[in-house]
Amino acid sequence: MTRYKINIEYDGTNLVGWQKQKNGLSIQEILENSLYKLSGEKETIQGSGRTDAGVHALNQVGHFDLHKKIKTDAIRDGLNFHIKNLYKKYNVSVLKCQKTKKNFNARFDAKERTYLYKILDRRPAPAIQNKRVWHVKKKLDNKLMKKAAKVLIGKHDFTSFRSTECQAKSPIKTINSIKIVRKSSELEIWIKAKSFLMNQCRIIVGSLAMVGKEKWSAKDIENILKAKKRGVAGQTAPPWGLFLHSIKY
């Protein structure tokens, strides 16, 4: 039995997220079915995290075991061949495959996850970037957003910034950094942490957008954090602006 680590890129549009579900097609299901076609073995592919429906990944990481001996490049190419054959309408690509230690776990061994959220803040709607950015018609004040983001860095109770459906045992998380970069009419929000609560990144973005619109201040974000109530925070930003960028092990 050999354990393999794979890096995956995918467009989350029209998929129910990473995890297999009864209500639609997931990235995990696409990969596992393609692995079965390649190897004849029914194996679970464990991902580093459960990206939500509509969320994209530039470098998701997964692991699985195989009894059959197959070269790593052949696994990568074989998976991509079967993905393309079985799921022509969906864009999922295995970037890399390598052998790893037997006890490697893509989820629990991760030391830091980086998410990138993209906002297009101009009046005209996106044509090329449709379903790749959150379109906000009003230009946001990124300087105010940077100031407010500092409030969220560190270890906090993020009850106000997690979905009411979140099943995590504790709302305590540590945000390592939040970086906001303007590139012309696009804002990039980079958020780093070891792990996240359900919808945490998207609620943080939705709340910071309210600051950018000059409807809230950094003090409001501080009060929202202290309130520990989901209803007082901003909207959950749309999934299509969010990208799982990278995982550090």
Phi, psi of 85 (to 5 degrees): -70, -40
Exposure of 120 by Cβ count < 10 A (0-12 exposed, 13-18 middle, 19+ buried)? buried
b/e per residue, 225-234, with b = 16+ CB within 10 A? beeeebeebb
Query: What token pair was written down for 225?
Result: 């954090």
Known catalytic membership, residue 65 = no
Q: Where are the alpha helices (DSSP H) in 182-217?
A: 200-212
Q: Which of 52, 65, 109, 220 is catalytic?
A: 52
CA distances from 41 to 139, 167, 174 (A): 52, 31, 39
Bridge partners (DSSP) of residue 92 are 10
The residues annotated as belonging to the active site are: 52
